[in-house]
Structure 1
Amino acid sequence: MSGNGLEIRELECFLVLAEELHFGRAGERLYISQSRVSQLLAALERRIGARLLERTSRRVSLTTLGERFLAELKPSYAELAAVVARARDAARGVEGTLRIGFQGTADDRLMRAIEVFQERHPACATEVVEIPFADPFGAVREGDVDAGIVLLPVAEPDLVLGPVFSSERQTVAVSVRHAFAGRSSLTAVDLADTPLIAAAGPAPAYWREAQAPSGPPAPAVRTLQEGLTLVAADRAAMLLCGPTAEYHGRKDVVFVPVDGLPDSVLGMVWRGGGETERVREFARAVAVAAAEG
């Protein structure tokens, strides 16, 4: 689009420049000359009527208007790119690669969903990667995966929650030396005075609270294996769903079922505006696997 309308290449150039803050590197990413980068930026600034970047001999920086323009442009450009991707997917059918992230354990229902998806769309490959325990939404938000299978709750305004499945009873992981190790089951009241390992890092507070209800101070970890190592050392206990506990069974840790806590539930999430045909079809496959039980 040109004339008095939008020029997509100018917007793309500005977005890359805002990331690199360097005309040479921006040109390398865009496969154009440094002078062409300057021309595109100048054309955009004329269209807007003000400077978006300040350029000196030593540094490039965004103006106040440039920062505001960037904040408003990025989500709109991402949505536009997603519209093009959805149209391309619809025209080609479902092919390429679908990247799926998961937390905890890739259990039978997730593997069944992948199987259903592959049966329906053999031209589309699937890649499965583990999402860190302490960062359930980062890989989805950054585009490292197309969709994530994560522990609920999910209350992120920029993410979409799709099919919910795999409701499982909670267990608590304790050291074989812990007082609870000989119990056949526990209640939520039993855990009230028990330090429960929590997630560290960027996980939102409401999500951390759901995985480790408030109690005495306890260590925070980034990965599930870090948590189980601290459990084995009898530093604290850790809540896990039944299948994850079974998968990570070890001789120095005991998993005791807990009554009176909400079940552990998984949900499929993806970026708002990032719903491609691959993502939609995998959501349907997850729903099929959930219905099969």
Structure 2
Amino acid sequence: MEYRQLETFVVLSEELHFARAAERLYLSPGRVSQLVRALESAIGGRLFERTSRRVRLTPLGERFLADLRPSYEGVHGAVERAKAAARNVYGVLRVGFLGTPSALVTRAVCAFEGANPECAIELVEVPLADPFTKVRAGVVDVAFTLLPVEEPDLATGHALNNLRMKLALWKNHPLAARESIDVEELAEIPLVGLTGPAPRRWRELIRPLATPAGRPIPAASDVATSQEGITQVALNRGGMLFCTSTAAYHSKEDVIFVPVDGLPLSRLGLVWLRGGETGAIRAFREITVQNAEIVERSVNTSWTTPYGSPPG
């Protein structure tokens, strides 16, 4: 009986969907099915009931999961901590960033490598619609993320910035020439949202369901990345909310970014596996905090023109 078989069983029991489990495990659905069958063969009984419409645990599967989970979580945590420690021994820290390597990301990386020449940083893009899978899988050691994070297996630090939200609109949209719009006006604008395994709280940060007064906000299409969202906006298929720094990065001729009054500020922070913080992660977190105030001041004062583009 292999660790990978047990890992596949636990993930599939959580997802109850072969394709979603395969995505989390970075495997094909066929390989997930093979591992489950091998585990069932070793145990001598069916762990899942499978039909064309649903997947669910059998009574044997439910009992096995209850007995396995405490031991599995202990082993899983030990494996992830060992992998992180092994990477740091060889002087590599893998840092995830959300869609765009903003000034906060690049400044923190440069400052860390300058202070710690023995440890190099590898930057890894984290999909906007799937912010935590690569952290959980050990693909990255620490990642930039929107706060708050309400995931019991993940830890976060203090907020690194507090930035105003801007609405991306097609250049000829009736509101594109405004200096700002009120949050209640979002009830008249279909907003692009997120697909994929992003938690509900995360999706609602990107596309609120209603205004503060309770007016429902219409939904446009769902996307997986910032670039996909910007493309939908450029085609006049809806608006999309971005924080100020991300709006600056995506400034382009056919998309205008208009500040939104009345929305909560966007807060960026760092996330890592709970119990898996290494010395390298602590050092990176401390340097990022030191540089965050400088970057936030620069972003808030440099991107304030009505059209979301640099002054001058």
Q: TM-score, normalised by structure 2?
A: 0.71
Q: Which residue number in structure 2 is paired with residue 259 of structure 1?
A: 261
Q: Which residue number in structure 2 is paired with residue 272 of structure 1?
A: 274
Structure 1 pair 272/125, CA: closer, same or farther in 2 (3 Å)? same
SS at match of 1:220: strand
Q: Which residue number in structure 2 is paired with residue 201 of structure 1?
A: 196
Aligned residue among 132, 139, 143 for 2:134: 139
1:73 has 2:81 as partner = no
Query: In 1, are the aligned partners of 2:83 and 2:138 still within 8 Å (CA)?
Result: no
Q: Which residue number in structure 2 is paired with residue 40 of structure 1?
A: none
Identity %: 40
Report how far residue 184 of structure 1 moved: 1.4
Q: Which residue number in structure 2 is paired with residue 25 of structure 1?
A: none
Deviation per CA, 1:206-231: give whole Å up to 9, x if none: 11111111111211111111111111
Report how far residue 88 of structure 1 moved: 7.2
Q: Which residue number in structure 1 is paired with residue 42 of structure 2?
A: 55
Gaps in structure 1 of 5+ consecutive residues: 1-12, 22-51
Report how far residue 94 of structure 1 moved: 6.3
Deviation per CA, 1:160-189: give whole Å up to 9, x if none: 012321321111000012111111111112
Q: Which residue number in structure 2 is paired with residue 125 of structure 1?
A: 120
Q: Which residue number in structure 2 is paired with residue 170 of structure 1?
A: 165
Which amino acid is the alignment partner of residue 75 of structure 2? Y
Q: Which residue number in structure 2 is paired with residue 44 of structure 1?
A: none
- Shifted more, 224-233 versus 163-172: the winner is 163-172
Query: In 2, are the aligned partners of 1:131 and 1:139 still within 8 Å (CA)?
Result: yes
Report how far residue 248 of structure 1 moved: 1.0
Query: In 1, are the aligned partners of 2:84 and 2:138 still within 8 Å (CA)?
Result: no
Query: In 2, are the aligned partners of 1:82 and 1:275 still within 8 Å (CA)?
Result: no
* Whole-angstrom CA distance in 2 between matches of 1:87 and 1:220: 37
Write out aligned runs for 1:104-253 (5 A).
104-214=99-209, 215-253=217-255
Q: TM-score, normalised by structure 1?
A: 0.75
Deviation per CA, 1:58-77: give whole Å up to 9, x if none: x8876645443432222211
SS at match of 1:210: helix
Report how far residue 84 of structure 1 moved: 5.3
RMSD between aligned alpha carbons? Answer: 2.7
Which amino acid is the alignment partner of residue 68 of structure 1? A
* Whole-angstrom CA distance in 1 between matches of 2:137 and 2:79: 15
SS at match of 2:186: coil
Query: In 1, are the aligned partners of 2:183 and 2:261 still within 8 Å (CA)?
Result: yes
Structure 1 pair 17/196, CA: closer, same or farther in 2 (3 Å)? closer
Which amino acid is the alignment partner of residue 185 of structure 1? S
* Whole-angstrom CA distance in 2 between matches of 1:144 and 1:84: 13
Structure 1 pair 237/53, CA: closer, same or farther in 2 (3 Å)? closer
Deviation per CA, 1:233-289: give whole Å up to 9, x if none: 111001111221121111111111111111111110001122122212211121111
Structure 1 pair 84/292, CA: closer, same or farther in 2 (3 Å)? same
- Shifted more, 135-144 versus 70-79: the winner is 70-79
Query: In 2, are the aligned partners of 1:199 and 1:221 still within 8 Å (CA)?
Result: yes
Which protein shows a greater Rg?
A: 1
How many residues matched? 246
